Chain A
Amino acid sequence: MPLLELDNIVVEFPTRRGPLEAVKGLSLDLDEGEILGLVGESGAGKSITGAAITGLIEPPGLIRSGEVRLRGARVDNLPADKMRRIRGKEIGAIFQDPLTSLNPVYTVGEQLIDTMRVHLDLDQKTARQRAIDWLAEVGIPAPEARLDQYPHQFSGGMRQRVVIALALCAEPKLIIADEPTTALDVSVQAQILALLKRLCRENGTAVVLVTHDMGVIAETADRVAVMYAGRLVEIGDVKQVIEEPLHPYTRGLMASIPQIGIRDRRLTQIEGAMPGLRNAAPGCAFAPRCPRAMEHCHSIRPAPQDAGTGQVACHFYGETS
């Protein structure tokens, strides 16, 4: 049984001009210990998918239909207090801005110790020792002294290390990391990614890594799911998606990233922009920008089909191979 299953979830934000569908029917599985990259442009629905897993969709948004299952048990319809227990114990969360995950009025140690005592049934002394171990584990120098400091006394990179410790300390089986390095300096990003990857490997923790950065994915993920306009367009092993993508959108996206050493007069560009959430065109959402679009791409929406190491949702793929 997969650790996590998303079964055709639809996330909707009601507005007075009718509901906005941010995620329009998304299914994917995640195995124990696996790192899945969830990529897409802003507005593709990747962060909202992450929030749907952790039950943190901001009201009035809601999961309109579909199921989120953790080890086969539905978690999307749980009452708020039960979900709160699952978050932390079963699912950890890391966000872009470390300050939003840390409570400014408690010391770093208090937050770590509290989290562990709530979820792991430890006494104060053991929990404190474990908290020190965790700070050392995430690479914070002088962990005993820093345990009693407040979040604002840490630098940006150090704060994100604390957040990682906080997300992992209750030993969850799954971490949702939403743009965990975007707010950090480039020279710190690599440190944090390497740390996250190492700790999750060591503890057998699965990760859903939400990001817009293909470089981060290439470096960290085992499998990649590419989202476009609220739907999955391609999912597969990282090597395939990065090096030999099947969907024309993924291909365009990969080609448009400037790379050091490659001497091109012009970058490959995808014309136009992603359609807004209100777009209700019947066909493939990428068709208006797609260099390979055929007539029925505009009228019939392609269903995900097995391809390569995963799936791809594209008429072109089905008809040429």
Chain B
Amino acid sequence: MTPQITPDDILSVQNISKRFDVSEPFLNRVLERRPRRILTAVNDISFDVPRGKTFAVVGESGCGKSTVARLLMGLHTPSGGTIRFEGDDITRMPPGKPAALRRRMQMIFQDPYASLNPRWRVRDIIGEPLKNFGICKNNAEVTREVEKLLSQVGLNPADAKKFPHEFSGGQRQRLSIARALTTRPELLICDEPTSALDVSVQSQILNLMKDLQDEFNMSYIFISHDLAVVWYMADVLAVMYLGKIVEVGPKEEIFGNPQHPYTRLLMETVPKLTVGGSERVPVAGEVPNPISPPSGCAFHPRCPMANDTCRSVAPALNLREGGQKSACHAADEERLKPWLRMAAE
């Protein structure tokens, strides 16, 4: 397939998949005749990330959104498909190599307590990529650059001497951001960067991320389970369910006029900060086990609109009126609109 990258897209992902072998150990398989078990974390998905914008991926735990981040960074090797960054194929490149290309993409992790080596001082944590990528020539330069980065993320340059445990969760996430900024990346992948933080700190970090995006003209891939945070951060949005993108498109369209029942129901789960309004309708059921996903459309067991087609045939991502794409037979067959209207009432 020819790369469909347009000058406006910084990253283009084509048909990427990731299967994990979660079989039991060899001896158990042979002696107990257990079959191999394959977990399809990401199942043949494609998307483009527009330059200078924020592309958000939302979904519940186990939907494959964190695996997507790790595939893009080269932390996992894809089972199939291609990833192109500015037209260059980076699909099977190890993380960090080749340096010239990999420096241009960086990542912020979810857990501020696990993403910083507890035995290292801040100067060494942030200085590591500066040395690895040969950005600074000598130690004095590293120290100067670390102090500059610390003040850019709102910390004190004197903090360079401290250890991670001397910081609060929000400050640690600032350290993580500073470390990612060392290489002046063009694309920053953020894997649930605020889900471990308290709300009053979350807003500080989200604001900081927006400011830095403007200042350094970065593109973001923003992964989250929190739709309200995504509403604030995203320009383009992809909703994932069991390894598939079920809906993707401009944020305004998806929030304003969702074209997939799962998106609609997911929005329903966001608590409203008003008292005494209408009771929300909870989505029925739970996310199925991704090792044995349901046939056809994976959402059909929880979907109020499911029919026989949904139970047997996997739907394709088709373009809808508003400009987004959604993978839903009900939308294809014009059965979705009446239901959406009803659900809104």
Contact = CB atoms under 8 A, between A and B. Distances in A.
Interface of A: 41-42, 155-158, 185-191, 194, 212-216, 218-219, 238-239, 242-243, 252-254, 256-261, 264, 266-271, 273
Contacts of B204: 269-271
Contact of B273 (A190, A259, A269, A270): A259
B295 interface: no
Contact of A218 (B170, B229, B271): B271
Interface stretch (B41-49, B125-133, B194-202): B194-202
Contacts of B267: 260
Contacts of A213: 271
Contacts of B168: 273
A266 B265 CA distance: 27
A42 B286 contact: no
A141 B168 CA distance: 44
B273 A41 contact: no
Contacts of B286: 155-158, 185, 187-188
B232 to A, nearest CB: 4
B207 A267 contact: yes
B231 A260 contact: yes
Interface string B257-284: 0000000011111111111100110111
A79 to B, nearest CB: 37
Contacts, number: 118
Nearest to A186: B269
B242 to A, nearest CB: 12
A156 B203 CA distance: 29
Contacts of A42: 169, 198
A75 to B, nearest CB: 31
Given A194-B279, A258-B231, A259-B228, A253 B199 contact: yes
Contact of A212 (B199, B207, B265): B199
A212 B197 CA distance: 10
Contact of B198 (A41, A191, A260, A266): A41
Among all A-B residue pairs, the 6 with the closest Cβ atoms: A215-B271, A190-B282, A256-B203, A41-B198, A267-B203, A258-B232
Given A157-B286, A191-B282, A256 B273 contact: no
Contacts of B225: 185-186
B280 A190 contact: yes
B207 A260 contact: no
A219 B121 CA distance: 44
Nearest to B60: A185
21 contacts: A41-B201, A156-B286, A185-B60, A187-B265, A187-B282, A187-B283, A188-B286, A190-B269, A191-B282, A191-B284, A213-B271, A214-B273, A218-B275, A254-B273, A256-B199, A256-B200, A256-B202, A258-B231, A267-B207, A268-B203, A273-B168
Contacts of B201: 41, 273
Interface in B201-229: 201-204, 206-207, 210, 225-229
Nearest to B229: A258
Given A186-B269, A187-B283, A215-B273, 7 more contacts: A41-B199, A219-B272, A243-B274, A256-B202, A256-B203, A260-B255, A273-B201
Contacts of A189: 269
B331 interface: no
Contacts of A264: 232
Contact of B171 (A219, A260, A273): A273
A267 B232 contact: yes
A252 B198 CA distance: 13
Contacts of A156: 286
Nearest to B194: A258
A268 B201 CA distance: 11
Contacts of B170: 273
A268 to B, nearest CB: 6
B275 A239 contact: yes
A257 B255 contact: no
Contact of A243 (B268, B275, B282, B284): B275
B287 interface: yes
Contacts of A216: 271
Contacts of B231: 258-261
B117 interface: no
Nearest to B201: A273
Contacts of A155: 286
Contacts of B279: 194
B287 to A, nearest CB: 6
A300 B199 CA distance: 28
A216 B199 CA distance: 13
Interface in B171-209: 171, 198-204, 206-207
Nearest to B58: A186
A231 B284 CA distance: 39
Nearest to A240: B275
B271 A194 contact: no
Contacts of B226: 186
A238 B210 contact: no
Nearest to B232: A258
A41 B206 contact: no
Contacts of A194: 279, 282
A286 to B, nearest CB: 11
Given A186-B60, A216-B271, A266-B207, A258 B228 contact: yes
Contacts of B269: 186-187, 189-190
Nearest to B210: A266
Contacts of B282: 187, 190-191, 194
B139 interface: no
